[in-house]
Chain A
């Protein structure tokens, strides 16, 4: 079995069992319910001053084949999770079918 195939199986298990339902809203077209692994870990934002901002870095891992559009090219796509709408400011594909979206609240 190739590694890519193995990883595809593993990602499917992770997103199905450990993920949660979110809505992927493409720039054009109808929203699609998908399963993704979301987290919003603490992030300290320092802007070269004596103080910084205690924030969080929301991100979600999705399987590309579940999505109606590619978030890397669909810059108007949104993610809706628990009534909060996000847009991806950074898209990090892993090259093997998965993608990590770094999110901003809109």
Chain B
């Protein structure tokens, strides 16, 4: 069973390939081995970090582990030193446009936001090289526990209380009367 992070990365790769950027179909997920100069320009997509939003997670029942998944989308370009910055800006704009068109990434994430863009150039190698790294933050959640692992107990009874009062902190408007309602539902397991 694949992790939701893989679905998010795969969705990003697919969208970038379909967007016909300067990299064309040369978009890879999680590169470890060096890129070959014949493959340039190209784009790498890989994980940076995945942090749990505890405050949001603790407000869920059953528990949903809400995550802030940082993904790097790095475009590599080689060319003339005079135009390298422009080339990097061009491909960065193509990436931004492709990913902002669907911030849910075909429903693999709740949201996708660009948080940082970094540039670097190198004189080493057969031709001047540049890289632009776009860091995206993808919001998603995982069920805790996974329903496939543990069967959750059926909801049988709900005790519901509704009140307009918040401990007296809110001042009532003129002619407004506080109200409180209570109900109990049973036999919900059907």
Question: What is A's interface to B at a CB cutoff of 8 Å?
Answer: 40, 43-45, 47-58, 89-90, 103-105
B72 in the interface (beta carbon within 8 A) = yes
Find the A residue at minimum CB distance from B35: A53
Contact A45 B125 (CB under 8 A): yes
Which of A48, A51, A57 touches B125 (beta carbons < 8 Å)? A57
Indicate the member of B121, B125, B128 with the most A CB atoms within 10 Å.
B125
B152 in the interface (beta carbon within 8 A) = no
CA distance A48 to B129 in the complex (A): 13
CA distance A49 to B127 in the complex (A): 19
Give A47 Cβ to nearest chain B Cβ, in Å. 4
Q: Which of B123-155 contact A (CB under 8 A)?
A: 123-131, 133
B97 in the interface (beta carbon within 8 A) = no
Give B64 Cβ to nearest chain A Cβ, in Å. 29
Give B9 Cβ to nearest chain A Cβ, in Å. 13
Known: A47-B120, A47-B131, A50-B72. A57 touches B126 (CB 8 A): yes
CA distance A45 to B74 in the complex (A): 15
Can you pick out 10 interface pairs between chain A and chain B where the beta carbons lie within 8 Å of each other? A43-B125, A45-B122, A49-B44, A51-B34, A51-B46, A55-B125, A55-B126, A57-B125, A58-B126, A104-B128
Chain B residues whose C-beta falls within 8 Å of the C-beta of A58 in the assembled complex: 126
Known: A49-B72, A49-B131, A50-B46. A56 touches B126 (CB 8 A): yes
Contact B34 A54 (CB under 8 A): yes
Known: A49-B44, A104-B126. A44 touches B131 (CB 8 A): no
